[in-house]
Amino acid sequence: MRIALLGGGSWGTALAIHAARLHQDVVLWVRKDEVAERLRRERENARYLPGIPFPDNLSISADPGVIHDVDLVLIAVPSGAFRATLRWMQPRLREGQTVAWATKGLETSSGAWLHEIAEEELGAVFPPALISGPSFAAEVARGQPTALTAASQSERSLDRLAGALHGEALRIYRNPDVIGVELGGALKNVLAVATGIADGAGYGANARAALMTRGLAEMQRLGEAVGAQPGTLTGLSGLGDLILTCTDDQSRNRRLGRLLGQGYDLETARARIGQSVEGVETARQINARARTLSVDMPICAEVHAVLYQDRPVREAARRLLERDPTHENPAG
């Protein structure tokens, strides 16, 4: 199988390294010629994944033409660049190819789900397809055991994704629930900011467990409102990714939250992370969607208030704790 990974950040690089262990013809595409030249010369991505060498057969290119000759184009760019990437790709694609993405989040300007953007920009010829789940890039790049979900309503797309990535230390599970897989991958970033804030403020393990559990309840409520399958949200791309990002400091979202909890302002916290932190913009869009759909998401609302309304961390915690008592399971 011929595979092109678009995006020279940590996740795109890690997936390219893994794919190149399984297939001979894999190319990592980056926007700038000088970046491509540096990666070819150094044979590692020293900025994002230092010390992890590229397989000998992994090609690096900044040539837009590389996507025309591959079977699978897998996009791993920040969500804010997703639409522009599709528009750039569209005239270079050919019938019979599979387009999928490993991007998590919503469009920062509109709040659109990524599958909605894909349908708008690519049409029905390329059905939406993605991979998501509990995965830190460095561990995938090192070949450590990982399980991911491939989501699409196209069996052909699922076959391509599984064929491209399933093998060695990476296991792929199939799921037709595109919206559910997208929702889990986006919302877990906001909840990781929440648990990071709590840990940075010194609130302890009890608070972290409560935020994760009630955060899952918020994920399930929003999932019901948008038509996600309940099993998806308790699977790899929902609960699995939530556990990962809320408990390990490899998560940029959790690290940013910890800095906020320690008293740093958002601008300083983002500068110290030094990479894209999807949960910051996703918090804005999720909060807007929750209001539009009349879905109760108090944790996400308080994260939004801390990020965008200068609400002090301890005031946000007080507001959550002083809410009226309610049933844990309203249906019961």
d(CA 241, CA 183) in angstroms, rounded, equals 11
Residue 182, SS3 per DSSP: helix
pLDDT band at residue 329 under the 50/70/90 scheme:
confident
* Residue 302 and residue 194 in contact, taking contact as beta carbons nearer than 8 Å: yes
Q: Work out the pLDDT band at 132, boundaries 50, 70, 90.
A: very high
CATH of 179-321, picked from 3.40.640.10, 1.10.1040.10, 3.40.50.10490, 1.20.120.160, is: 1.10.1040.10
CATH 3.40.50.720 domain locations along the chain: 2-176
Catalytic residues: 188
State the pTM of this model.
Answer: 0.95
Q: Please name the CATH architecture into which domain 2-176 falls.
A: 3-Layer(aba) Sandwich (3.40)
91: Cβ contacts below 8 Å, ≥ 6 apart = none
Q: How far apart are CA 108 and CA 281, in angstroms?
A: 6
Is the predicted pLDDT of residue 331 greater than 90, yes or no? no
Do residues 193 and 303 lie in contact, with contact meaning Cβ atoms separated by under 8 Å? yes
Q: CATH 1.10.1040.10 in the chain, residues?
A: 179-321
Cβ atoms of residues 30 and 64 within 8 Å: no
For residue 167 the two structure tokens come to 């093998």
Instruction: Give me the residues paired with residue 98 across strands.
Output: 72
Is the pLDDT assigned to residue 332 strictly greater than 50? no
pLDDT tens column, 230-273: 999 999 999 999 999 999 999 999 999 999 999 999 999 999 99
Over range 203-222, report the average pLDDT. 97
Which pLDDT value is given to residue 108? Answer: 87
In contact, 134 and 243? CB cutoff 8 Å: yes
Question: For residue 294, what are its two tokens?
Answer: 């009349």
Alpha helices in the chain (DSSP H): 10-22, 33-42, 82-89, 114-122, 137-141, 155-165, 178-200, 205-226, 230-233, 241-247, 252-261, 266-273, 278-293, 298-308, 313-321
- Integer angstrom CA distances of residue 245 from 14, 191, 229, 296, 329: 17, 8, 22, 22, 25
